[in-house]
Structure 1
Amino acid sequence: MTQSTPGPVGRFHSGRVAEGRPQALDAWRVTTDDAEAAARVAGLLGGRPQPNEGGEALAHEVLTKAETVRVLLEGPDAVASHMVLRGSKGIVHRCDGLEFLSPEEKKGRPCGCPPLLADRKLAAREGRGPSPSISLTFRIAAEPSLGEFRFMSGSWQLAVQLADLTDALERVDGPAVCDLALELVVLTTKAGRGVCYRKPVVTVLGSSGTVAPQSPPPAQSAPAPVPPPRRRRTRPTPEPAVLDPAVPEPTAPESTVPPSPEASHSVSVDAALLRRAAEVLGTDGPEETVAAALSEIVAGRQRTAELVRLREQVGRIAAIAGQALQGRDS
């Protein structure tokens, strides 16, 4: 396997771009320019190699089946983090939270970022301040010879975790075995709406000599015993009612329980609407905003379907009652 340019063999992603819209995924996506690397990643993490149509320049992508990947991080230097504010012409503010890193004429000067995380998030949401830009460089623990991969994120949740992460990496002698996961988050927004999304989480497990290179498979619960069939009580058969042919026969009501978050593999939303949607929905970040918007759409469709079913049932009851009254009068 050869690489035309030095650097990571590929990148990990928690989302992709499809038809101009961003998508958040339930499992890791890997992109690379190396066809052999793509095939080996698919063998390790599931999925299959395919042409990359997700918006990056790398030629191949693998939509894996893995929510958690065991990786090797070479100490605190494997983690890089700074704050970035982009304008129409590129980066206009880049700092470490205390001092400017660029542009060159401002390097080393106080950047003016608020000390509190909540104030920084508010400034970033309003377009007045920078957002996190985090980079992790690692190897897949099950096959380190495959080369280094990189994961880049703007997650505020991951930014909060960085201090503890670097401290934990410093305490490990040699490469640290870590779990890189897309953790499911279920919460209620300030507006009282229940939403769910996935956030990147890094958990330091220990040294390579004490931790297995692969995550244990998820435990599978034993199948529940099948209950014996119930005996139905016999009831006298009622006389058939004469129904209007135009009135449809009653059908069993459909379930209105929304699907589990794990059943959905991706969600998409127009990026231009994220800021306005966050103001309306009372959310703090893109993940919460996307999830809250989808929850509203699902709830609205369920209410509409339920109303349609109620109207049909009322119509059938009225038709049957009318026929009964006509029969009594005659």
Structure 2
Amino acid sequence: MTQSTTARVGRFHQGRLSEGRPQVLDAWRITTDDVLVATRVASLLGGHAQQNEGGGGLAHEVLTNRESVRVLMDGPGAVTARMVLWSSKGIIHDCDGSAFLSPQGKKGQPCGCHPRLEDKKLAAREGRGPMPSIDLTFRIAAAPMLGAFHFMTSSWQLTAQLSDLMEALERVGGPAACDLTTELVALTTKTGTNVCYRKPVVKVLGNPDIVAPDPPRTAAPVPDPKPSAPRRRSKSTYESTTPPTPSTAEPACSVSVDAATLRRAAQVLGTSDHQETVIAALSEAVARRQQTVELARLREHVGRIAAIARQALPDGDSSLT
């Protein structure tokens, strides 16, 4: 596979360095050299832009609160996969699992790797064989104009699923909406030891024209003074509070702004400020009508919508600011 030549503005990570030690994270960490990109990522995925002290070589990082991020992958060409073995002198083996990719004099020749994945894993564990090196290139579905990001991993689990991933991307026949997830795995070893780790998972959803640009929110809910009140919005809650749209009219979204409604919406949606509440409400309403193009336009103007919401609130009400 050929490495994408698209300029990339940032990188996704499953971990970082903390006081010199590797730290596995429960949500995606994103690094970039562009502070404006970092700020926009934080507004979309949670967290805040800060100086990168966790490794990765780029100037800024965002520790998001998202385990899953909806992304756009431009077909099979967005995936680069190879098997690499390093030594103190650099790369000494570079193949695609069956034939050499480099050096040029050996390119295309059989590499001698075991055909079975389990045998490949054993050889790598013993230092006799190469490890996977997978590079995914994608854009964030909710803000594709930010540019391309990438994620690099040596996950054997993702390696085992590469064939299915490539076929799924090929079937879409163009840019594909996908969920990129850092999934928690908990297991007990044969010796009775409990082990937890995170594995990357890519789920291809389909054409972005018919897939909402954001997955369901998984952020921690806002504290609720009434314990019996729902923390997350269910389908029945949404349908019971939204007036039906006449079948003879064009689908439309209307917003009636008042402090009590916005407070309750924040509690039900699990959002922490008025802007997140507006974004989440618009996402849900537009997604139900499969108007993702319109949603992208609305997201660009969400600042204006939030400003209108603030003006509509009583001067003394700061609960959503």
- Give TM-score scaled by structure 2 length: 0.66
Query: C-alpha separation between the residues in 1 aligned to 2:211 and 2:195?
Result: 34
Three-state SS of the structure 2 residue aligned to 1:15 is strand
Q: CA deviation at 1:207?
A: 0.5
Q: CA deviation at 1:223?
A: 5.2
Instruction: Show the counterpart of 1:59.
Output: 59
Query: C-alpha separation between the residues in 1 aligned to 2:98 and 2:154?
Result: 18
Instruction: Show the counterpart of 2:103.
Output: 103
Instruction: Show the counterpart of 1:131.
Output: 131
Q: CA deviation at 1:54?
A: 1.8
Percent of pairs with identical residues: 66
Deviations 1:280-323 (A, max 9, x none): xxxxxxxxxxxxxxxxxxxxxxxxxxxxxxxxxxxxxxxxxxxx
Change in 2 beyond 3 A, CA 1:7/1:57:
same
Higher RCO (CA 8 Å, separation ≥ 6 residues): 1
CA contact (8 A) 2:66 2:218 kept: no
Change in 2 beyond 3 A, CA 1:85/1:154:
same
Q: Which runs of 4+ in 1 moved over 4 A?
A: 222-225
The RMSD of aligned alpha carbons is: 1.9
Change in 2 beyond 3 A, CA 1:173/1:102:
closer
Q: CA deviation at 1:146?
A: 0.6
Aligned residues: 220
Three-state SS of the structure 2 residue aligned to 1:9 is strand
Q: CA deviation at 1:198?
A: 1.0
Q: 5+ residue gaps in structure 1?
A: 226-330
Q: Which has the larger radius of gyration?
A: 1
Deviations 1:88-112 (A, max 9, x none): 0111100000011112332221111
Instruction: Show the counterpart of 1:11.
Output: 11
Query: C-alpha separation between the residues in 2 aligned to 1:187 and 1:48?
Result: 33
Q: 5+ residue gaps in structure 2?
A: 230-321
Instruction: Show the counterpart of 2:215.
Output: 215
- Whether 1:146 and 2:139 are equivalent positions in the alignment is no
Instruction: Show the counterpart of 2:190.
Output: 190
Three-state SS of the structure 2 residue aligned to 1:124 is helix
Q: CA deviation at 1:218?
A: 4.3
CA contact (8 A) 1:16 1:23 kept: yes
- Whether 1:83 and 2:83 are equivalent positions in the alignment is yes
Q: CA deviation at 1:121?
A: 0.6
Change in 2 beyond 3 A, CA 1:6/1:186:
closer
CA contact (8 A) 1:186 1:197 kept: yes
Three-state SS of the structure 1 residue aligned to 2:17 is strand
Change in 2 beyond 3 A, CA 1:223/1:120:
farther
Query: C-alpha separation between the residues in 2 aligned to 1:66 and 1:23?
Result: 17
Instruction: Show the counterpart of 2:114.
Output: 114
Instruction: Show the counterpart of 2:27.
Output: 27
- Whether 1:49 and 2:63 are equivalent positions in the alignment is no
Query: C-alpha separation between the residues in 2 aligned to 1:212 and 1:9?
Result: 23
